[in-house]
Amino acid sequence: MDDKLLFSEEEVAVPSNHDAQQFWHVLIADDEPAVHQITTMVLGGMEVQGRPLKLISAYTGEEALQVMAEREDIALALLDVVMETPDAGLNCARVIREEMKNKYTRLVLRTGQPGQAPEEQVIRDYDINDYKDKTELTSTKMKTLVYSTIRSYRDICTVNQSRKGLRRVIDAISEVNESHTLRTLASAILDQIINLLGLQSDAICCRQLSAYAASVQEGHYHVLATSGDMDKYKDVQSIDELPAEVANAFKKASETQGSFATEHYYVCYKRSHMGAENLLYLEYPGDLTDLDQQLLEIYASNVGLTYENLLIREEVEDTQRELVYILGEAVEGRSKETGAHVKRVAKISHFLALSYGLDEESADLIKYASPLHDIGKIGIADSILNKPGKLDDVEWQTMQTHANFGETLLARSGKRILKLASVIAGQHHERWDGTGYPRGLAGEEIDVAARITAVADVLDALASQRCYKEAWSYDKIVDLMQRERGKQFEPRLVDLLIENFEQIKAIRTRYPD
């Protein structure tokens, strides 16, 4: 067989236990059926790194280009120079590289008429990987050619997967930095760990992965993220609710305090300096290489640190938000008003902001800033704040100074929440028609956060009992809002309030005095 020329037509017979993703696909483009037949005879049982070849036949340059357009997994294309036209193979090579932008498939031109397309000219003018005279391709040389080109294709794909993996990691860093919840972070981490496996395994296999990540603290498991078949377990509260294999794997990792791999799954174990055990369970087809496990360990180590930092960040942010409520409630308590007022104003403001069309981040900022709308009252005397009757002109002028005082007090901070709270404190008594205080701003001159907070504040204040008045009925409040539409309040906000009044009432019910 070594002395026979190599060309074929039939697809190579492969064992039935190999699926379509386990072949090296080789395109043979030649107008001679004998070429296809002989190539099949020579390459029929050949494997490269345990993966058999699958030969795809094309008899014209047009058919070859159609195959290349339909498939992205052709490792090697053997192109005859002369097919339906004297330069059909040359044209195929040009289209594949220049128009299809395919830089991965290895292209080998073959010719039975070497003088028609000189070797030096073809190699110089076309982006090919080899140029062979059919008469020199014996069986041994053909197999050597296939081994070398497919290994080259494999290495190029590995480099490309590594580049994509690096891109995914970079994207993961950005996603983690933008994460505002532990679940968001954990989902990003889990996705990136699965993608990292793609550096050493087939992409389709990667998408078939099932994974489960959890954190155990004080004996309780907290699900962070799931993927694939494990999605059904994302809300479990106990390890006993997990599949037995997963539960046993987690117990073993916790007992040994280490990561381990089996033929079917990998468990990553990391214990934080705060005492929490972070566990990752991955099911996968095939084997994990030592490099795969090393990458996962390195990644998990850095993820654990980021996880801890996010915990600390969330704790700081939660503390700041709680302090805002406490401070707001302290001001309300000093004026003998209900402390729940600031929470209701925050929740109603958040609801109205979303209804108004603001994005979630802007609505959250308003929710966290609005409790400080009356912070300036700390500069007002108790005799004025708690006067049961109507204020006289001098007292009213003094009361009005709380807006400027609160704005100035909060403006000293560079933090986003307090900066917005400064704006709200200074503008929530402005009126849509321009007759409010302290500056007489009108319409959209008033910041939208202040316009929203003003509606929430007035509604809840009217519905609550105060030292100087009884609580109003909801019907009476709606009537006032309608009368003040376009005067004290922005018309659109009044409309939204009335349209969603049942939801507003539900918020007040959840946070009673």
Which of 377, 387, 419, 476 is labelled catalytic? 377
User: For residue 315, which amino acid is it?
Assistant: E
Read out DSSP for 141-175? HHHHHHHHHHHHHHHHHHHHHHHHHHHHHHHHHHH
Query: Could you give the CA distance from residue 93 to residue 98 in angstroms, rounded to a whole number?
Result: 8
Quick check: helix, strand or coil at residue 475? helix
Q: Would you state the torsion angle of the CA atoms of residues 398, 403, 404, 408, taken in this order, to the nearest 10 degrees? A: 130
Task: Note if 419 is an active site residue.
Answer: no
Which residue in the block uniquely carries the two structure tokens 């389709």?
204
Nearest partner of 87 among 128, 138, 135, 122, judged by Cα = 122
Backbone torsion region of residue 214, taken as left when φ is above 0, otherwise alpha when ψ lies between -120 and 50, otherwise beta: beta
Q: Strand order of the sheet with strand 51-58?
A: 47-48, 51-58, 24-29, 74-80, 106-111, 130-133
Q: How far is CA 316 from CA 310, 323, 409, in A?
A: 10, 10, 22
Query: Could you give the CA distance from residue 34 to residue 5 in angstroms, rounded to a whole number?
Result: 10
- Say if residues 464 and 513 touch (Cβ distance below 8 Å): yes
Sign of CA pseudo-dihedral 247, 251, 257, 259? negative
Number of helical H runs and strand E runs in the chain = 18, 11
Q: Report the Cα 33 to chain-centroid distance in Å.
A: 51
Please give the positions annotated as active site. Answer: 377
